[in-house]
Amino acid sequence: MWLQKSSLFALYAVLELARAPDRQLATAEIAETYGISAHHLAKVMRTLVRAGLIQSVRGVGGGYRFAGNAARTTLFDVIQLFESLEPEVDPSLARAVGETPIGAALHAVNVEINQLALATLRSITLKSLLKYAPGRGVEATAARH
Amino acid sequence: MATRNAERPRIRRAKASDLEAVVALDEIGTGLAKPDYWQDMFARYVRRRRTGRHFLVAESAGRVIGFVVGEVRAWEFGSPPCGWVFAVNVSPAWRERGVGGRLFDEIGLRFRKDGVEVVRTMISRADTLNLAFFRAQGLTAGPYIELERRLPPSPDNA
């Protein structure tokens, strides 16, 4: 699975603001850092404000500041503001999934992948991700393949 | 109840007299009382200790308020020697105060002295609390996947 752009942009913005909670940043600054559309990001920021994760700062300079709890907010908490990650059966596939062994077996695989993804996203807080982001100088256990 | 002035927990090796406290902590954390299981664990990890086996407790003011258990395992599932953490538990009154992290760091140090470079654990997908704890210690998904299936009924029981 991969995330929709809005979810990714939201994560970039929230994490960028959370890593320096006393700092305020404008939408354009975040967009430039990540090479993303400022127009699209602006819409995302409005949703994040409504969710209470960030707050807009009025006055000279303006911008946004982190307003949430980085230790209690998970990646899932941010993503679910923009998309549903729960496995859903497309109504047009209901017969394949509900009435054929192959359809049901493939749906079970899809559910399994989704459950792993949800468990992962629900377990990573903003604080954890920031702590072990590359270049932070904190050693993390990396998966070796 | 833990207070700000409570004695800073110290981490030490478990001893036989810690059994009752560990059983109680585990029951709080899991909802299941498993005295036989922990008796067996104490027999193997505390009384008959050998290199690579570690059972550590966190103690404050003479009370056990947390523990971690782990062992170096080698070549199971084709994996070179690595340290496995089987259980970690901190009293609810002491959570979010760094006790779990200190227990994990200490067992990690001991695994390093045992000569291994990787620490692993396995957690239920539904156990968001412990998943988040281990993620906070820097663990990420490893190269192995746990698979399982239900066994068919034994013909003897049919």
- Residues contacting A128, CB < 8 A, separation 6+: B132, B135, B136
Which residues does B contribute to its contact with A (CB < 8 Å)?
Answer: 118-119, 125-126, 128, 131-132, 134-136, 138-143
Instruction: Determine the Cα–Cα distance for residues A43 and A6; give it in Å rounded to an integer.
Output: 9
CB contact under 8 A, B135 and A141: no
Task: Pick B141's closest partner by Cβ from A122, A138, A143.
Answer: A143
Is the separation of the CB atoms in B42 and B49 below 8 Å?
no
pLDDT 10s digits, A77-131: 999 999 988 777 788 888 887 889 998 899 888 888 888 999 999 999 999 999 9
pLDDT 10s digits, B4-28: 456 789 999 999 999 999 999 999 9
Task: Tell me, rounded to whole angstroms, the distance of Cα B102 from its chain centroid.
Answer: 13
Distances, alpha carbon B59 to alpha carbons A113, B8, B66, B88, in Å: 41, 8, 7, 14
Instruction: Determine the Cα–Cα distance for residues A106 and B72; give it in Å rounded to an integer.
Output: 38
Could you tell me the residue ranges of all domains in chain B?
10-157
Task: Pick B140's closest partner by Cβ from A116, A122, A141.
Answer: A141
Could you tell me the residue ranges of all domains in chain A?
5-84+125-131
| Chain A residues whose beta carbon lies within 8 Å of the beta carbon of residue B132 | 74, 122-125, 128
CB pairs under 8 A between A and B: 47
CB contact under 8 A, A116 and B125: yes
Phi, psi (deg, nearest 5) at residue A77: -60, -35
Measure in Å the smallest separation between the Cα of A105 and chain B Cα atoms. 15
State which CATH number among 3.30.70.100, 3.40.630.30, 3.20.20.210, 3.40.47.10 fits the domain covering B10-157: 3.40.630.30
Checking ipTM against 0.90, whether it exceeds it is: no
CB contact under 8 A, A123 and B139: no
- Does the domain at A5-84+125-131 match CATH 2.40.40.20? Answer given as no
Q: Is the whole-model pTM more than 0.95?
A: no
Task: Tell me, rounded to whole angstroms, the distance of Cα A64 from its chain centroid.
Answer: 18
Q: How many Cβ atoms from other residues are within 10 Å of residue A47's Cβ? A: 15
pLDDT 10s digits, A12-52: 999 999 999 999 999 999 999 999 999 999 999 999 999 99
